[in-house]
Structure 1
Amino acid sequence: MNGTNIKWDDLQFFLAVARSGGLSPAARATGSSPATLGRRMRTLEHDMGRELFIRHDRGYELTTEGRTLLSELTDVEARIVRLTAKTDDATRPLVKISAGTWTALLLLNSLDTLTGTPADIRLRFVSAEEVLDISRREVVIGFRNRRPSDERLAGRKLSRVEFAPYARADAPRKWIKVLADTPSARWLDKTIGKDAVCEVTSPRNCLDLALAGRGLALLPTFIGDAQPELERAGATIPELTHDQWLVTHQDDRHLPHVRRTLDRLADVLAGQYHHVKRDSAV
């Protein structure tokens, strides 16, 4: 390795390619062309005397030496960020989190805890029922209902999630049906068919209707038990019980701002679940 030939710009380009998994997304992030980035990566490999990438049709995959370099540069980058950090919002690192309606609702109640005091990260919640692609960096952190099977992803197991029917004491015992591609919505469709007091396309609307006393809502217990106006109108549904996992990319999980966010998310959820179970009357 001839260290005198290595340019810091090339190392920054390496970080962009390594984190995005390919030349095209890295080009969009850096403003350079894919051809330029490809040429710079070959030059960097030559100057370092290391093979950093496995190139294939799906993109650029890091070799063992590439992952080592990424880890080393991430530490250097973090130190540089701390030394040059300002306090304005634009300089705080952005962390994109995908979460379903109910998890996002729970987390937004603890926003100050998640962003830090004083705030040291910016959060963008992508509230979506569909699974977004963490390996392609559509989001940085995602909540999943099973352990990640992709070797590029790392997961942290959280609490079990259970579902039960909820309603106000004076509400009719007729279901509010959610039309969505989720396990709970599919279970409800299979169970009641068209026999519903109302159909909604947003899961949050079923909670609103239940709070208004219009019928039964199928809710995760960490949401339903936290509503003082609602009571459980039946037992939990075993078919819908699942583990919750906090998932991120292997190459991102040691970044300081990502690590802080992961730890805060886990702490907030552990505290909320404990609070719900402790205060639940059922």
Structure 2
Amino acid sequence: MNETNIDWNDLHLFLAVAREGGLSKAAKTTQLSAATLGRRMHSLERSMGRELFVRHDRGYELTAEGKTLLEGLAEIESDLFRLTAQPTQGDRPLVKISAGTWTTLALLPHLDTLTGTPPDLRLRFISAEQVLDISHREVVIGFRNRRPTEETLVCRKLARVEFAPYATESAPERWVKVLADTPSSHWLDRTVGNDAVCEVNTPRNSLDLALAGQGIALLPTFIGDLHPQLHRTGGPIGELSHDQWLVTHQDDRHLPEVRRAIERLCQVLEGAGH
């Protein structure tokens, strides 16, 4: 590869196309047309002598070499941000944290502990049921339901999570079904099928309906047990029990703000019995 032939601006555009998964979305973030981006990606591939994308109707999928380039550039980008950042006095470092609905719900009441007193961190919670990419710095810290296998990630094992059915004393014996890509939602689909009083696509809404006395919700015990008006209508579902892991990138774990955030997250969860 002749490095002098590479337009370094194309590498920046490559990051946008790779992360957005196609030209249309990347066009919105780069303020360039899809046609221009397509030409620039072809030019980058010619300059590097590598095929970086598989182009199909669904968008741009990275080849193995494309994924390798993305990983390398993401690390360089992260280093550049740290090296060139010019924080003003009083600025607090931002730490992005991804967690599922229930873990986020358990953490938010403890915001003062997590940010420090006085605050020395700025936290951004990204509540999502899907796993976000820590290696590519979509988030800095993530909660996972299984131990990560990526060599670049490090983790800390947290308490075991259990799920059980909850309802109020006066609630009818009918289920609230959650439509989501989670093990608990899949269990509900297999067990309840279409025999549910209501279907919701946000897990939090199942808790709201249970608290309103409208039916039975499948909840993690660290959420259900917080509400005295709810009681367990059955024991924990064994197949849904799992360990929880707190995960970050090996290059970030020694950053002062990341280290503080991790210690405080563990403090809050251990104190809450989670």
Question: What TM-score, normalized by structure 2, do the two folds share?
Answer: 0.72
* C-alpha deviation, 1:24, in angstroms: 3.0
Matched, 1:233 2:222: no
Instruction: List gaps (5 residues or longer) in structure 1.
Output: 1-22, 32-55, 275-282
Structure 2 residue runs without a partner (length 5+): 1-10, 17-29, 31-64
Deviation at 1:85, TM superposition (A): 5.9
Structure 2 SS opposite 1:251:
coil
Alpha-carbon RMSD across the aligned residues, in angstroms, is 3.1
Q: Is residue 2:69 matched to residue 1:59?
A: yes
Whether the aligned pair in 1 keeps the contact of 2:71 and 2:135 (CA below 8 Å) is no
Matched residue of 1:210: which SS?
helix
- Could you tell me the percent identity over the aligned residues? 65
Q: Would the alpha carbon gap of residues 178 and 240 (structure 1) be closer, same or farther in structure 2, given more than 3 Å must change?
A: same
Q: Which residue of 2 aligns with 1:204?
A: 204
1:261: which partner in 2? Answer: 261
Q: How many residues align?
A: 217
**Residue 147 and residue 86 in structure 1: after superposition, are their counterparts in 2 closer, same or farther (change >3 A)?**
same
Distance 1:242 1:61 in 2: 30
Give the whole-Å Cα distance in 1 for the aligned partners of 2:70 and 2:236. Answer: 45
User: Which string of whole-angstrom CA distances, capped at 9 and with x for unpartnered residues, describes residues 68-102 of structure 1?
Assistant: xx7xxx8xx7xx98xx7622xxx211111110000
Deviations 1:95-149 (A, max 9, x none): 1111000000000010010001111111111001111111111111100011110
Q: Deviations over 1:163-210 (max 9, x none)?
A: 000000110111000000000000010011000011111100000000
Q: For each residue in 1:1-46, what CA deviation from the matched residue of structure 2 results, as whole angstroms up to 9, or x when unmatched?
A: xxxxxxxxxxxxxxxxxxxxxx538988xx9xxxxxxxxxxxxxxx
* Structure 1 partner of 2:12: 24
Change (3 A) 1:86 1:228: same
Equivalent residue letter for 2:89: K
Residue 273 (structure 1) shift: 1.2
Distance 1:216 1:107 in 2: 24
Distance in 2 between the 1:111 and 1:85 partners?
A: 24
Matched to 1:24, the amino acid is: H
Measure the CA separation in 2 of the matches of 1:139 and 1:61.
14
Displacement after TM superposition at 1:228 (Å): 1.0
Residues 9-20 of structure 1: matches in 2 within 5 Å?
none
1:159 partner letter: A
Q: TM-score, normalised by structure 1?
A: 0.70
Q: Which residue does 2:107 correspond to in 1?
A: 107
* 1:143-182 correspondence runs (5 A): 143-182=143-182
SS in 1 for 2:272: helix
